[in-house]
Amino acid sequence: MRVDAVRNHNVILEVAGDLFCQHGPAVSMDAIANAASVGKGTLFRRFGDRDGLIRAVVSERTEAWWQGARARATDESVPARERALRLVDEMFELIVLRLRPLMATMEKSDCAGPPPWLDQLAKLIAEVRPEADAAFLAKVIIGSMRTEMVEPGSEHTLRVNVAALTSSVLGD
């Protein structure tokens, strides 16, 4: 990739992420192109469509976090129950506290596939509770962090409830 193309790619992701976080899903591709000082056609060539751009922004903003979280979640020197609880707490921090407006944009655009951490959480649940439907339970836990579950000022209460749900799923 040319140097200017790499710069444009990075600027577009930064600008689009900031605009989605500030204004939610109503941000137009024109507004993103203008703010990034690129042509609208550049957005479509690079990302295909609006959903592709949203996925790229989310991926860029979660990639480093996921690398660290996955390493901690697969550290077998720590009991699976503790790794699952820590992973859910880290997901809460990322999804609800750091990236909530961006996650709301992604949820509303309905462009998201399952997050990579869903499988990891399901594996940890299966380690702790082999008889359980781990995939379903992982979806329930992650679903409890969807943006519509968060009311202004309720983040602490929701965090406590998500931790209690996770504890219950894992068995006390």
Q: What is the CATH number of the domain that holds 79?
A: 1.10.357.10
Q: Which residue has the tokens 């930064």?
A: 14
What are the φ/ψ torsions at residue 85 (nearest 5 degrees)? -60, -40
pLDDT score recorded for residue 109: 65
Boundaries of domain holding 100: 3-170
Q: What b/e sequence results for 136-149 when a residue is b if at least 16 CB atoms lie within 10 Å of its CB, and e otherwise?
A: ebbeebbebbebee
**What distances in angstroms separate CA 15 from CA 46, 80, 103, one per listed residue?**
15, 39, 16
- Per-residue pLDDT of the chain in tens (172 residues, 90 and over written 9): 677 778 889 999 999 988 988 887 778 999 999 999 999 999 999 998 888 888 888 888 888 889 999 999 999 999 999 999 999 999 999 888 888 777 777 776 665 667 888 999 999 999 999 999 999 999 999 989 988 888 878 889 999 999 999 999 999 7
What Rg value do the Cα atoms of the chain yield, rounded?
A: 18
**Total domain count, the chain:** 1
